[in-house]
Amino acid sequence: MNTVVNVSHEIVVAVDVGTTKVCAIAGRKNEYGKVEILAVGKVECDGVTRGMVTNIERTSKAIADAVEIIERKINSRVKHVHVGIAGQHIKSVKHRGILVRDSLINEINKEDIKKLINDMHKLVLPPGDKIIHVLPQEYTVDSEPGIKDPIGMSGMRLEANFHIITGQDAASTNLIKCFEKSGIQVHQLIMESLASAKAVLTEEEKEAGVALIDIGGGTTDLTIYYDSIVRHTAVVPFGGNVVTKDIKEGCTVMPNQAEKLKVKFGSALAMEIKDNRTITIPGIKGREDKAISEKNLAWIIQSRLEEILDYIILEIQRSGYENKLIGGIVITGGGSLIKDIELLCEYHTGYHTRIGLPIEHLAHGYAEQYSNPIYATAVGLLIDGLEHEAYGGVEPKVHEPNKVPMEVVNQGTSTTEKYKGEQLTLDELLEKPKSEKKPNILNGILQRTKEWFEADSGDADFK
């Protein structure tokens, strides 16, 4: 049975288009500023490879199906959504902007900051690239560096360091096209790793210094925070699907069997396997069953994850913040569900590691299923949408006043009927000539409904 909610302009819908799934989520903020999740629609999708749309038709259908689940649950039509973008085409650059102001008397305001950011959008990029985000680092006012928020200060020369995230224009265009084919507008594109950070990181971790590793199906995203500012972002072109492929090749099994082995019996740390059990895989078409050692399976998984972590270590060193990550590492995404992955990360990188669950900003009483790392990006996109959108992305399904539904209920019995394909009000239906009315049980129901309506019209709340 669908759950009908009181629709308000505060409801926002976000969609995470991943390599293995499309996840749509609808929610709003409660009176305490916490996020209430109203509905989730998750649909498998094979039209995306490493964050890039490779099949528009399949991706568009998955998006439409996921959003339709949302619409049924909240009994509203989705007009526009907040969408995450990822993939190995995502890159980042650093740049410095300078603004010479006209007056020392006037305080620095938001318009001055906006001018600096707009100047960054004028940068010359490689052909086919576009700017996705311009993230301020710190400001300098009249040679005074290290200022986080210069608004309200006086000064003639305003400078700022920016972390600029870029991506291929074709990738974002194809992604938007998938939504347009589904009849949905894209309100804004957000880098998925930034969205995941909003869902799983605490403000203390961001201030102390933390590296977020989001292991998805096709890619692994890295985001480094220090002093509550995004300092470095990177994308590693390997994810959970590569681990599954290694199991398929190493154990010579089918892809679906490899995925089940990874999820049910896999471990990221072979040394933690105490009882080396044997896993039996049924043979194909009468062939002999295949026996797989649990420890050998763990070695396959560990080898690939160590390779991914090597890339992560290299990116942390490139960022220059390797000695400043007091908060250590937080792992999230579907890949973080592999058993003992936090132990492997601690042993391999030397940083304290925890699994990031997207529950930091959820209202009390949330369903247990939402505490799964696979929802980190979707919940983060929803949080970002609620922070930046002044009006909602849904509208109630409009029913004409005084129109009765096509379902007539009488003592628990439901009868659905249309009069010559027309939608009629109760009075119009009852006023039809008897010769035109169908001589069946519906007439008896309508007559009793009319008698009840006439008797209790003063008190009844008829909808």
Q: Is residue 216 located within the same domain as residue 306?
A: yes
Is residue 282, in this structure, part of any structural domain at all? yes
Is residue 29, in this structure, part of any structural domain at all? no
Q: Is residue 157 located within the same domain as residue 272?
A: no
Give the CATH number, domain containing residue 102.
Answer: 3.30.1490.110
What residue type is assigned to position 460 of the chain? A
Q: Is residue 212 located within the same domain as residue 135?
A: no
Is residue 157, in this structure, part of any structural domain at all? yes
Is residue 134, in this structure, part of any structural domain at all? yes
Q: Is residue 222 located within the same domain as residue 342?
A: yes
Is residue 207, in this structure, part of any structural domain at all? yes
329's tokens: 């590492």
Q: Is residue 419 located within the same domain as residue 271?
A: no
Is residue 74, in this structure, part of any structural domain at all? no
pTM: 0.80
Among the listed residues 143, 152, 74, 84, the one whose alpha carbon sits nearest the alpha carbon of residue 112: 152
Is residue 372, in this structure, part of any structural domain at all? no
Q: Is residue 130 located within the same domain as residue 238?
A: no
23's tokens: 């996840």
Q: Is residue 288 located within the same domain as residue 349?
A: yes
Q: How many structural domains does the chain have?
A: 3
CA distances from residue 178 to 53, 89, 381 in whole angstroms, order as listed: 9, 18, 18
Give the CATH number, domain containing residue 321.
Answer: 3.30.420.40
Among the listed residues 261, 355, 397, 358, the one whose alpha carbon sits nearest the alpha carbon of residue 16: 358
Is residue 391, in this structure, part of any structural domain at all? no
Among the listed residues 192, 164, 187, the one whose alpha carbon sits nearest the alpha carbon of residue 176: 187
Among the listed residues 385, 357, 370, 362, the one whose alpha carbon sits nearest the alpha carbon of residue 32: 362
Q: Is residue 309 located within the same domain as residue 413?
A: no
User: What pLDDT score was predicted for residue 391?
Assistant: 58
Domain boundary among the residues 337, 358, 379 is at 358
Name the residue range of residue 329's domain: 202-358
Q: Per residue of the chain (463 residues), what is the pLDDT tens digit? A: 343 344 344 899 999 998 889 999 999 998 888 999 999 999 999 889 888 899 999 999 999 999 999 999 999 899 899 999 998 899 999 999 999 988 888 899 999 999 999 999 999 999 999 999 999 999 999 989 989 999 999 999 999 999 999 999 999 999 999 999 989 999 999 999 999 999 999 999 999 999 999 999 889 999 999 999 999 999 999 999 999 999 999 998 999 999 999 999 999 999 988 888 899 888 877 788 889 999 999 999 999 999 999 999 999 999 999 999 999 999 999 999 999 999 999 999 999 999 999 998 898 888 888 889 999 999 999 999 998 875 566 776 654 444 443 433 333 333 334 444 444 444 444 444 444 444 454 555 555 555 554 555 444 443 3
Scanning 320-440, the segments in alpha helix (DSSP H) are 341-349, 376-388, 426-430
